[in-house]
Amino acid sequence: MGSGTKFAVIAGCVALVGVGGWFGGRPAIEKIVHDYILEHPEILPQAMENLQRKQASQQLAGVRQNVETPFPGAVLGNPQGKVTLVEFTDYACGYCRRSLPDVAQLLKKNPDLRIVVRELPIIGPESPAAAKMALAAAEQGKYSQFHDAMFAMGQVDAQSIEAAARQAGLDLERARKVAAGPAVEQELSRNLEIASRLGFSGTPSWVAGERLISGAVGVDQLSDAVSEARGG
């Protein structure tokens, strides 16, 4: 029996539980469902995956456009890419740093991939300052340069933020003004709100198509999500 047929059977049984309740047959129908699941436990992972995707779709409803629209310039990979992966990140996050090689592999293998990076500075006391400088770098068209330099610093403090900015070739005076401006503050507040609505409480977190992913899950799972977002 194929997985589609199995799900049709189990869905029918579940529906009958409700109907059976009207006719006093609920316990019998529940036993049928119980026994079927015991005989076919392989349906449970797929059922859970379907449930998670349904929940993700509901969470994304109403915020998809916002989550996939970057702060101007805060993009890695192909800015015009047809496939979008969203990453919520924090420069003080060790797991985000661990994910850098995975992101590099994805970009190398997918020339049509656009990674929208949403700064979510929630870990360290200097995380907000680093995030603001990153957005200031985006304003100068040097987001990826600062992004890479900042993560390479290995720590987040005032000295490392300025060092990364210099390494990225930023106009520091201009960058400081932008970082202190309302547009950057609004972006960080928006990112926090979006993350909360999507159920993200840490970094890295990812959005690809209808999938919401939390943690440094590895390149294989991210590749699957990107492939699915592309449509196969």
Q: What is the pLDDT of residues 85-143, one digit of tens each?
A: 999 999 999 999 999 999 999 999 999 999 999 999 999 999 999 999 999 999 999 99
Which element (helix H / strand E) includes 76?
Answer: strand 75-77
Encode pLDDT of 140-198 as tens digits. Answer: 999 999 999 999 999 999 999 999 999 999 999 999 999 999 999 999 999 999 999 99
Residue 19: pLDDT band (50, 70, 90) is very low
Confidence check: pLDDT of 51 > 90: no
Averaged confidence pLDDT in the chain: 87
132: nearest Cα among 196, 82, 177: 177
pTM for this prediction: 0.77
Residue-range domain boundaries for the chain: 3-59, 64-230
Which CATH class for the 64-230 domain? alpha beta
